[in-house]
Structure 1
């Protein structure tokens, strides 16, 4: 059971990042209907990630501080992805704000991946 949930969680992360970049490119290139559809599918994968990640955290890793921090960073990463996409839809991103949000996204994504693959631990 653990392996199936773990693989679902890891796979949903990969698909989520791919869908995020596809949705962003569709929104930026003014393909609003396609961008909206991909964004809704992306939100479904957020739910899959949160459910499988919560199951892994509470069933196996609740006593490890590293994975609690990873869970909080993962929720922040989902927030940053949503902020980038919604502001891109509303065309509410100037150059400085856009760089700030992308920097937050990049640093948080890097930390989540490094903790997820046990490269970084506390």
Structure 2
């Protein structure tokens, strides 16, 4: 069961990053934004499934909280782009959060 959640989670992260870039850099955002939000849900459900099978280790709970913050940053970037007021500092936050989350997920950062 864990392997199924893991593969679903890993794949949804990869697709989510691509969908975020497509949504941010294109003018027509409706379909890509809906798909992006669908993959948010897939990522959250598969991550929660992995947390349940692993009995909620603190490191992965923290990773989940950071991932939810990252989702918020992605949504804020897209919303600000639509309004015409980009936020360059949010890009830095997005890159740092993404790097930390990926390193925690692949075991580079552990505690």
Q: Provide the TM-score with structure 1 as the length reference.
A: 0.87
Q: How far did 1:59 drift?
A: 2.0
Structure 2 counterparts to residues 1-122 of structure 1, below 5 A: 1-26=1-26, 31=27, 34-62=28-56, 64-93=57-86, 98-122=87-111
Q: Over aligned residue pairs, what C-alpha RMSD do you find?
A: 1.0
Which structure has the larger Rg over C-alpha atoms?
1
Judge conservation of contact 1:61–1:67 (CA < 8 Å) in 2. Answer: no
Consecutive unaligned residues of structure 1, counting only runs of 5 or more, are none
Q: How far did 1:35 drift?
A: 1.4
Aligned mates of 2:60, 2:102 — CA distance in 1: 12
Alignment size in residue pairs: 111
